[in-house]
Amino acid sequence: MTYSRRDILKIGVAAGLASTTSSHLLAQSNSAVALTAREASMQLAPPDYPETAIWGFDGSMPGPVIRVRQGARVMRRLVNELPQATSLHWHGVRIDNAMDGVAGLTQEAVAPGASFDIDFVAPDAGTYWYHAHNRSVEQVARGLYGALVVEEPEGPDVDRDEVLILDDWLLNPDTAQIDPDFTSRHDRSHAGRVGNFIATNGQYGHSLDVRRHERLRLRLVNAANARIFDLALAGLEGWVVALDGMPLEAPQRVSETVLLGPGQRADLLVDVVAEQGETAYLVRVDNGEGFVQSAFPVIGVSSGARRDAPQALPPNSNMAPPDLSQARRVRLHMGGGAMGRLQSAQFNGERRTFRQLVDANQFWAFNDVIGMTDEPLANLARDEPVRLEIVNDTSFPHAMHLHGMHFREIAADGTLGPLRDTILTFGGETREIAFSAHNPGDWLFHCHMLSHAASGMMTWVRVT
């Protein structure tokens, strides 16, 4: 048999590929695949604008979707090629504390040029996300985040499974560059850094072709610094099947809107009911007006018939509700902000007047204390049941996120709501959550309106 030069080239390429693959596998067994935080640029604004300089994982925004099976090990080497120290948090994952990625609490920030090896097991199926957790108000706003999808051993019957990350950016309207003022007094003391440019998966005019009668799983993630998304469906009929990664006991029909605070996720199963040639939409409702968040042009008709209403996703294990009768009570009073009544508060161990706090660019207090303290909000024994009352005594909404453990809201009638890792509270509301402190470690508890976290709304609990 003779080979042409062309054939030899082909064989060479194939052999080359094979050897790269095996050396890559070898390398992988010793060190994890890199996830590199670096500068990049992308077309964020409409095509007639210049590209926007962003910070992204592997140079993309959002970063790569990391998909694993439930119970799988996630190994990544965070490589920092940014001009600033960073760290990586896995939002919503019941993770080993050492892997929680909170610079200053669970690890040192990773210096420019340095790296950090991430190695954890993903215990729960669901939709999670990863994001920078050092100077988050800046680093998340610049684009340092992505989705972590943990697949059920047997997922629901769908035609496609799509991650939709919702975000807004604060861009200079002429140059389309990210507004570099991450310490804005106004943003900090009011609703937070709210963007002027909204997109899905970093795409202007985000659109996905679908067929009539198809069923889609939409994994919605709110990655915005401060914006609350209120979402509706048009030409789609859907159910919420999971919130903050955790399956609902029964799918909940989307009749009006789905509210997503910063950090929160919702898994929707939606059926395309729009006709071929029409377009279905995910709609964002803002002050009573609807805007297209994502478009789903219906380019055909599925060969399958429409499905029955979906079943609940299989529950994640080890999620027994806490025993409220034995629960320790903890109170978190939120004060401050514009139109607040904060006269003075503790900051860095000293009592400061409101004027001094404004000068220090600090605006929010938990139980009269601003920012992190040496002592945790609560010292909890392992598996101790806790009920935590959150009093939002401010004029603004706050999305409180507990690291490392999910909680349930205690309704007025004493029943327990679905598992969540972030609770959206509105000004003047008092809400109560409960959980068993099953995960040992130091866990941050903070507002996911990231300007608020940077100006006081940050505390922590210790589980030993």
Which residues are near ligand C2O by CB under 6 A? 89, 91, 131, 133, 263, 401, 403, 444, 446, 448
Smallest gap from Cβ 46 to Cu ion, in A, equals 31
- Nearest 5°: phi and psi at 57? -80, 130
Q: Which is nearer to Cu ion, 215 or 398 (CB)?
A: 398
Partner in contact with 398, chosen from ligand C2O, Cu ion, none, beta carbon below 5 to 8 Å by kind:
Cu ion
Smallest gap from Cβ 105 to ligand C2O, in A, equals 10
Tokens 């996905």 -> residue = 208
Radius of gyration of the chain (CA): 23
Q: Is 446 in the site for Cu ion (CB under 5 A)?
A: no
Residue nearest to ligand C2O (CB): 91
CA dihedral 296, 297, 302, 305 (to 10 degrees): 60
Helix (H/G/I), strand (E/B), else coil: 13: helix
Q: Which is nearer to ligand C2O, 215 or 403 (CB)?
A: 403
Partner in contact with 377, chosen from ligand C2O, Cu ion, none, beta carbon below 5 to 8 Å by kind:
none
Q: Are strands 246-253 and 236-243 parallel, antiparallel or unpaired?
A: antiparallel
Smallest gap from Cβ 65 to ligand C2O, in A, equals 17
Q: Which is nearer to ligand C2O, 156 or 262 (CB)?
A: 262
Q: How far apart are CA 364 and CA 452, in angstroms?
A: 7
Q: Is 449 in the site for Cu ion (CB under 5 A)?
A: yes
Question: Exactly one of 76, 265, 408, 452 binds Cu ion (CB under 5 A); which one?
Answer: 452
Smallest gap from Cβ 259 to Cu ion, in A, equals 16
Smallest gap from Cβ 450 to Cu ion, in A, equals 9
Smallest gap from Cβ 233 to ligand C2O, in A, equals 26
Interface of this chain with Cu ion, residues 380 to 439, rule: CB under 5 A: 398
Encoded tokens for 162? 């799509």
Q: Which is nearer to Cu ion, 99 or 447 (CB)?
A: 447
Q: Which is nearer to ligand C2O, 177 or 425 (CB)?
A: 425
Q: Centre a 10 Å sphere on the Cβ of residue 372 and count the other Cβ atoms it contains.
A: 15
Q: How far apart are CA 116 and CA 43, in angstroms?
A: 30
Encoded tokens for 136? 């988050």
Smallest gap from Cβ 192 to ligand C2O, in A, equals 14
Q: Which is nearer to ligand C2O, 210 or 399 (CB)?
A: 399
**Beta strands of 65-141 (E only): which ranges?**
66-69, 73-80, 88-91, 115-121, 126-132
Q: Which residues pair with 457 in a beta bridge?
A: none
Integer CA distances (angstroms), 174 to 45, 66, 187, 193, 338, in order? 11, 34, 21, 19, 30
CB crowding 140-164: b at 16 or more within 10 Å, else e = bbbbbbbbbbbebeeebebbebbbb
Encoded tokens for 221? 């993630």
Partner in contact with 447, chosen from ligand C2O, Cu ion, none, beta carbon below 5 to 8 Å by kind:
Cu ion
Partner in contact with 132, chosen from Cu ion, ligand C2O, none, beta carbon below 5 to 8 Å by kind:
none
Partner in contact with 91, chosen from ligand C2O, Cu ion, none, beta carbon below 5 to 8 Å by kind:
ligand C2O
Q: Which is nearer to ligand C2O, 401 or 420 (CB)?
A: 401
Q: Which is nearer to Cu ion, 61 or 137 (CB)?
A: 137
Smallest gap from Cβ 410 to Cu ion, in A, equals 21
Partner in contact with 131, chosen from Cu ion, ligand C2O, none, beta carbon below 5 to 8 Å by kind:
ligand C2O
**Neighbouring residues of 63: CB distance < 8 A, sequence distance ≥ 6:** 35, 56, 57, 130, 144, 145, 146
Q: Is 447 in the site for Cu ion (CB under 5 A)?
A: yes
Count the residues of the shown chain that bind Cu ion, applying the rule CB under 5 A. Answer: 4
| Full DSSP string of 405-461 | --EEEEPTTS-EEEEESEEEE-TT-EEEEEEE--S-EEEEEEESSHHHHHTT-EEEE
Partner in contact with 89, chosen from Cu ion, ligand C2O, none, beta carbon below 5 to 8 Å by kind:
ligand C2O
Q: Which is nearer to ligand C2O, 237 or 442 (CB)?
A: 442
Binding site for Cu ion (CB under 5 A): 398, 447, 449, 452
